[in-house]
Amino acid sequence: MVTTSSFVDGKPQASLCLSDRGLNYGHGVFETMRLCAGQLPLWTYHCQRLGAGAQKLGIALDLPRLETYLQQALEAFPADGMVKLLLTAGVGPRGYRQQGQSPSYVLQYFPPVLPATTALAVVRLQLCEYALPHNAQLAGIKHLNRLDQVLAAAQLDTGFDGLMLDVEGNVIEALSSNIFLFDGQSWLTPELTLCGVAGVMRRLLCEDIIPATGQQVAIKSIDLASLINATEVFVCNSVRGIQPVSELAGRAHWLTESSQPGAVETKKVIDQLAQAYPCFAA
């Protein structure tokens, strides 16, 4: 039973101080994590990305403290669901310059999402008019400023996820997930050196899961035409796992396991992920 659904710096609390730099400047990073049987199966990957993002933003992550707070929270939360971890630069005086503040650690619980890899968990994409700007300094990390996604989401029709391109027209990601395409011979996923979020599930699939199926992943610039001409497409994140994509509205349709046989390579990846991490099984 839930005793509290949120902690701030190890204390049951549901709000941040008004002078927190995360609230005022978006100065922080976050992770959204699948919780299964009281465990965070991808914690090692989340922790590594959190540390890399904190270092880029000049936030002094105290890992032993975080792990203490995390264990405390997991004991209070239900066994299954989603945990959101926010690490901000902490409370400080007005002004952009950081002045040695101690970070703030926020942990929140949310109820479970629907199963990630069922045949019916198919995504329909719509091309966002909003284009992601380039910023090599922030590319890849999951920082707190998500205004790009907010503006893009406002353009979407009901029932669609957003496909986001950069200012040069390259495919980058979906609204809250990474994207993979199969070109008939191999898997491709967009390069994220100038913008986009390098997802934890993306890393796991590239380094472990897809190679275990006998395929490799090429990380490269991908134009819209290459996506449209792909034979299979899926999106992924660390909460929902892998979701096949059925269409890009008005531009392309792809075979999925739920529509008709044909998404052979996608099914191999889904099955391999479920074998390695049963929490992502249907």
Q: Domain of 53?
A: 6-110
pLDDT at 4: 75
pLDDT over 70 at 116, yes or no: no
Domain termination residue (choose one: 64, 86, 110): 110
pLDDT at 58 over 50: yes
CA distance 58 to 60: 6
**Are 14 and 84 contained in the same domain?**
yes
Count structural domains, the chain. Answer: 2
pLDDT at 101 over 90: no
Choose one of 85, 110, 135: the last residue of a domain.
110
Partners of 104 in the β-ladder = 88
Coil, helix or strand for 230? coil
How far is Cα 177 from Cα 153, in angstroms, rounded to an integer? 13
Asked whether residue 43 falls in the same domain as residue 140, the answer is no
Select from 237, 281, 240, 244 the least CA-distant residue to 261: 244
Q: In DSSP terms, which residues pair with 35 in a beta bridge?
A: 81
Does residue 119 have a pLDDT over 50? no
The reply to whether 39 and 80 lie within a common domain is: yes
Please indicate, yes or no, whether residues 99 and 238 belong to a single structural domain of this protein: no
Tell me, yes or no, whether 91 and 128 share the same domain.
no
Q: In this structure, is residue 115 part of a structural domain?
A: no
3-state SS, residue 37: coil
Name residue 147's amino acid: L
Which pTM was predicted? 0.93
Residue 260's pLDDT is 53
Query: Could you give the CA distance from residue 173 to residue 92 in angstroms, rounded to a whole number?
Result: 34
Residue 1 lies in a domain: no
Residues 215 and 147 reside in one and the same domain: yes
Q: What is the pLDDT of residue 262?
A: 64
φ and ψ of 64, to 5 deg: -60, -40
pLDDT band of residue 258 (cuts 50, 70, 90) is low
Q: What is the mean pLDDT of the chain?
A: 93
Q: Dihedrals φ, ψ of 44, to 5°?
A: -55, -45
Work out the end-to-end distance of the chain between its first and last CA atoms, rounded to an integer number of angstroms.
Answer: 25
The pLDDT of residue 99: 82
Residues 183 and 244 in one domain: yes
pLDDT of residue 5: 94
pLDDT of res. 112: 87
Q: Which two tokens stand for residue 115?
A: 């199963």
CB atoms < 10 A from the CB of 37, how many? 9
- Structural tokens at position 139: 């590319």
Report the DSSP pairing between strands 6-8 and 11-12.
Answer: antiparallel
Confidence (pLDDT) at 1: 43
Question: 87: helix, coil or strand?
Answer: strand
23 belongs to a structural domain: yes
Question: Average of pLDDT values for 154-170?
Answer: 97
Is residue 254 located within the same domain as residue 131?
Answer: yes
Kindly tell me if the per-residue pLDDT of 114 is higher than 70. Answer: no
**Same-domain status, 135 and 37:** no
Amino acid identity at 193: T
CATH for 245: 3.20.10.10
Residue type, 268: K
Question: Is residue 102, in this structure, part of any structural domain at all?
Answer: yes
Q: Is the pLDDT of residue 2 over 70?
A: no
Give 266-279 pLDDT, tens digit per residue.
999 999 999 999 99
% of the chain residues with pLDDT over 70: 94
Residue 85 lies in a domain: yes
The predicted model gives 72-88 an average pLDDT of 97
Single residue among 110, 144, 162 that ends a domain in this structure? 110
Other beta carbons within 10 angstroms of residue 139's beta carbon come to: 19
What is the DSSP-derived secondary structure letter of residue 112? P
Statement to judge: residues 64 and 179 lie in one domain: no
Residue 125 backbone phi and psi in degrees, to 5: -100, 150
What SS3 state is found at 29? strand
Q: Where are the beta strands (DSSP E) in 9-103?
A: 11-12, 28-35, 81-88
Same domain, 77 and 217: no
240 CB-contact burial (10 Å; exposed 0-12 / middle 13-18 / buried 19+): buried
Q: Do both 40 and 143 map to the same domain?
A: no
Tokens for 157?
Answer: 């029709």
- Whichever domain contains 94, its CATH number is 3.30.470.10
* Averaged pLDDT, 9-13: 95
Q: Write down the pLDDT at residue 127.
A: 98
pLDDT at residue 263, as a whole number:
86
- Tens of pLDDT, residues 189-233: 999 999 999 999 999 999 999 999 999 999 999 999 999 999 999
